[in-house]
Amino acid sequence: MIIMNVPTRWYNIAVDLPIPLPPPRDPNDNFSRIDLLNKILPSTLIDQEFTAERYITIPEVIRELYRKIGRPTPLLRAEGLERKLGVKVKIYYKFEGALPSGSHKLNTALPQVYYAKIDHANEVVTETSAGQWGLAVSIAAALLNLKATIFMTRASYISKSHRRILMQVLGATVYPSPSDMTMFGKKLLNQDPQHPGSLGIAISEAIEYVLQDSNNRKYLPGSVMEFALIHQTVIGQEVIEQLPEEPDIAIACVGGGSNFGGFTYPMIGMKLRDEGFKKTRFIAVESLAAPKLTRGKYMYDHPDTAGTLPMIKMYTLGRNYVPPPIHAAGLRYHGAAPSLSILVRLGIIEARAYSQEEVLMAGRLFAKCEGIIPAPESAHAIKAVIDEAKRAKPGTVIIFNLSGHGLLDIDAYSKVLDDK
Amino acid sequence: MSININLVLYLTSTYPSVQKFKEIVEKCDSIVDLFEIGVPTLNPKYDGPTVRMTYREAELLGVKALEVICDLNIKRNFIIMTYLEDYLHDFEHFVNFVKSLGARSILLPDLLFDFYHYVDSYVKLCERYGMEPTFFISSKFPYKIVRKLLTYSPYFIYLGLQASSGIKLPLIVERNVKIMRELIGDSCRLYVGFAIRDVEEIKILRELGVHGVVIGSSFIKLLKDYGLIRALNFLKELKRSLSDNYECSN
């Protein structure tokens, strides 16, 4: 048995990109949203967002917590799926669903809560859609003894009650978003009492709630911000250690980009530095319900719906875009992280979008072959893996990130059974 | 080894008025080593609220605002700062005009971020009109590109210490400057700016081996809130802190 160590550092791809990351921008008015970051984010996270370092040392306390939650996660071979497809390709997957939160989100929740605590916050606040990020923050807050408040998109608050209950079990307070806890939420509820919410709206509410008491509360973003992607690079660094051979194709799903970035950036970084992965193609898979990479515009836009945060240059469907309620709620987001957007724009990452139906069928097939029920988000990657495997030459090596399990996504899979 | 550190003053042309701008330039000419003169724009991309305010309140806009420089007898070097997006449609004409004013360079903060493909053209135009290129970079800038910029023999590379001018975030500036200083080495001058507010910060930057510090928003705030004399005294104090014997006399 190989006993691997937890990575000692996170990787920052910004310093290896072929072109520079455009800086954040303020709209042309009297108020600086960039300055507002001082009030809402833990200070170390702001520093990491703008760091010139290629590698950031992981605090020992976080490495200990990574060990405690079960890092390194396993890299497995999907032999059952290979046999079922009848293809002579090798399919590997990194299983982030093995973490206690059931998804990769804990990799950044732990350092984010830790840095909030260093800043003497007593409450962390965030948004969640599928509940994976909210659950991860709830676990991290419980482990580090801070109060957690979660704004959960109303559609998921109703359909994903299991994760909501688990967050509450861990001590978190969970509000359906839009909520009456904020002015922005009240305004939307007045317009539509049945508003399904969106990740962009929940972000806006979480920020407004933090600003009500910014001395004690800190906002923690689950994705899009570069530091969230940086923390997730523990996944890709472990993959490089675990992989027996360089893949021809690496695949992961995209909501805001933290899963995809964390999984692929250490490999892409090596490719950009001519240190390996020369032949590897990287494929980002998104939902047709929020197809920013395949149908969005590359432009400056706010990451939140209310426009409280600074604008960042990214592929976006527009901050007011409200994706239809889908089971892969973690992918219901209008934009993608700036570094991911640049890499897609340069053609270093390919992007594609799938519909909910075909994705859930792929997820079910994987479950029957491998015994792991994938999260609907992760099933997007599986769908792409199957498509690639079917047309690949014999000997092709495919790797994907199984970012979460789907044991709490009963609603999604019951729909598959109903439709059959 | 002692490094000669330049004090650079950023001013927006014709802010707060044509006459006042001329007076400020004349009074500062004996204090600073270089002027960075900004062109008032309706589309300030990376500027913080203070500089954006100067664009709004400047008496003239765009090229009109620069024409007043013809009437000035600036003894120090000066460069023009503007966004390429505003002049991309006829950039050569703009370069020619700026050269006629006597500027040593044109700094385009959006060149590398939004128009990276245009770098070679920019450098060639600078050479054609007898000016030196300057480049603005951010702290999280690709190492390879920093090294590539050195091959253009720029007048200097300007590192924005913060995400936006005049906005102070809790960044470990020393670490970022050190990394960029190592990348650049001795082959080019490194100037730094954004939210530099006092002598203590300048002392630290001096220790890190930067070649120039740019003061903008803090000067403009003093000018607006307390008047020119207070702003000039601030500038003189900063200038003293850059001299080699500052530690001894304080």
Which residues, including other chains, have CB under 8 Å from residue B18's CB and lie 6 or more apart?
B59, B60, B68
Three-state secondary structure call for residue B160: strand
Which residues, including other chains, have CB under 8 Å from residue A382's CB and lie 6 or more apart?
A359, A362, A363, A365, A366, A374, A400, A402
Question: Within 10 Å of residue A58's Cβ, how many Cβ atoms?
Answer: 19
For residue A51, the chain B residues in CB contact (below 8 A) are: 139-140, 171-172, 175-176
CATH assignment of the domain containing A45:
3.40.50.1100
Count up the domains in chain B and report the number: 1
What's residue A198's pLDDT?
83
For residue B175, the chain A residue with the least C-alpha distance is: A52
Contact A52 B48 (CB under 8 A): no
What's residue A228's pLDDT?
97
Is residue A18 located within the same domain as residue A84? no
Which residues, including other chains, have CB under 8 Å from residue A282's CB and lie 6 or more apart?
A249, A250, A251, A264, A267, A268, A343, A348, A349, A350
pTM, 2 dp: 0.95
In a domain, A64, yes or no: no
In a domain, A88, yes or no: yes
Is residue A292 located within the same domain as residue A386? yes
Is residue A262 located within the same domain as residue A327? yes
CB B51 within 8 A of CB B165: yes
Contact B140 A16 (CB under 8 A): no
Round to whole Å and give the CA distance between B94 and A75: 57
What's residue B100's pLDDT?
95
In a domain, B1, yes or no: no
In a domain, A191, yes or no: yes
Which residues, including other chains, have CB under 8 Å from residue B227's CB and lie 6 or more apart?
none
CATH assignment of the domain containing B166:
3.20.20.70
Is residue A292 located within the same domain as residue A365? yes
Contact A50 B163 (CB under 8 A): yes
Round to whole Å and give the CA distance between A182 and B182: 47
Is residue A389 located within the same domain as residue A273? yes
Where do we find the tokens 């519909």?
Answer: A355
Helix axes B119-128 and B91-101, enclosed angle (nearest 10): 40
Is residue A42 located within the same domain as residue A150? yes
For A320, list phi and psi in degrees, rounded to 5. -90, 0
In a domain, A356, yes or no: yes
Is residue A99 located within the same domain as residue A110? no
Q: Is the dihedral of CA B172, B176, B182, B187 positive or negative?
A: negative
Query: Which residue in A56, A96, A92, A93 sits closest to A72, CA to CA?
Result: A96
| Parent domain of B151 | 6-249
Which of B57, B85, B169, B178 to mutate: most A Cβ within 10 Å? B169
Count up the domains in chain A and report the number: 2
What's residue A413's pLDDT?
87
Which of B140, B145, B178 to mutate: most A Cβ within 10 Å? B140
Is residue A268 located within the same domain as residue A210? no
Among A25, A30, A31, the residue with its CB nearest the CB of B45 is: A25
For residue A32, the chain B residues in CB contact (below 8 A) are: 48-49, 164, 167
For residue B161, the chain A residue with the least C-alpha distance is: A50
Cα distances (Å, whole numbers) of residue B33 to A2, B82, B194, B249: 61, 20, 18, 22
Question: Within 10 Å of residue A300's Cβ, how many Cβ atoms?
Answer: 17
CB A135 within 8 A of CB A167: yes
Query: Which residue in A67, A72, A100 sits closest to A407, CA to CA?
Result: A100
Among A16, A17, A34, the residue with its CB nearest the CB of B163 is: A34
Spell out the per-residue pLDDT of chain A, length 420, in tens.
Answer: 445 689 999 999 999 999 999 999 999 888 899 999 999 999 999 999 999 999 999 999 999 999 999 999 999 999 999 999 999 999 999 999 999 999 999 999 999 999 999 999 999 999 998 788 999 999 999 999 999 999 999 988 988 888 899 999 999 999 999 999 999 999 999 999 999 888 888 989 999 999 999 999 999 998 889 999 999 999 999 999 999 999 999 999 999 999 999 999 999 999 999 999 999 999 999 999 999 999 999 999 999 888 889 999 999 999 988 777 777 777 878 899 999 999 999 999 999 999 999 999 999 999 999 999 999 999 999 999 999 999 999 999 999 999 999 998 888 888 777 765
Is residue A212 located within the same domain as residue A337? no
The amino acid that residue A183 corresponds to is M
For residue A14, the chain B residues in CB contact (below 8 A) are: 140-142
What's residue A223's pLDDT?
86
What's residue A419's pLDDT?
63
Three-state secondary structure call for residue A314: strand
**Which strands form A217-219's sheet, in the order they lie side by side?**
A173-177, A147-153, A123-128, A217-219
Is residue A87 located within the same domain as residue A177? no
The amino acid that residue A354 corresponds to is Y
Residues of chain B with pLDDT under 50: 1, 248-250
Distance from CA of B42 to the nearest CA of A (A): 8
In a domain, B47, yes or no: yes
For residue A46, the chain B residues in CB contact (below 8 A) are: 169-171
Query: Which residue in A332, A334, A320 sits closest to A188, CA to CA?
Result: A320
Is residue A98 located within the same domain as residue A110? no
Q: Report yes or no: A37 at the B interface, CB cutoff 8 Å.
A: yes
Is residue A99 located within the same domain as residue A111? no
In a domain, A65, yes or no: no
Q: Which of A163, A196, A219 is the last residue of a domain?
A: A219
| Parent domain of A267 | 70-103+232-419
Round to whole Å and give the CA distance between A344 and A179: 35
